[in-house]
């Protein structure tokens, strides 16, 4: 941060990343798109994997502390319906035979 509270190092790093993306998209557009798509897909999978691991570790610690194996109440009853609906939509639309 400089004296005005501006994050100079963060802005410089973001600017360099943007310039690198710009120049690489000019010289190797197919490769850059593939790499960026793969990175974003890996990020999504790793985030949800960490959520699942955290849930498993929480349950294990919860039981170790002497609590009963209880089911936590869902505040929104439509949450499970929306989750299942999005799963079925994703399953149907990723087959690519509907195009």
Residue 99 pLDDT greater than 60, yes or no: no
The pLDDT value recorded for residue 17 is 82
Say how far apart CA 93 and CA 95 lie, in whole Å: 5
Number of Cα atoms under 13 Å in the Cβ half of residue 60: 6
Phi–psi pair at 48, nearest 5 degrees: -70, -30
Find out whether 40 and 34 touch, Cβ atoms under 8 Å: no
Q: Note the pTM of the prediction, 2 decimals.
A: 0.45
Find out whether 70 and 76 touch, Cβ atoms under 8 Å: no
Domain boundaries, the chain: 8-93
Report pLDDT digits (tens) over 35-89. Answer: 777 888 888 888 988 988 898 898 889 889 988 877 766 666 666 677 777 777 7
The pLDDT value recorded for residue 97 is 59
């Amino acid at each position: 941060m400089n004296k005005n509270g501006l994050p100079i190092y963060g802005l410089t790093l973001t600017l360099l990343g943007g310039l690198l993306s710009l120049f690489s998209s000019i010289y190797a557009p197919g490769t850059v798109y593939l790499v960026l798509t793969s990175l974003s897909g890996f990020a999504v999978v790793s985030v949800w994997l960490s959520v699942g691991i955290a849930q498993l570790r929480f349950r294990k610690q919860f039981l170790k502390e002497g609590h009963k194996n209880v089911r936590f109440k869902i505040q929104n009853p439509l949450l499970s319906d929306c989750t299942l609906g999005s799963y079925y939509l994703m399953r149907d639309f990723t087959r690519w035979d509907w195009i």
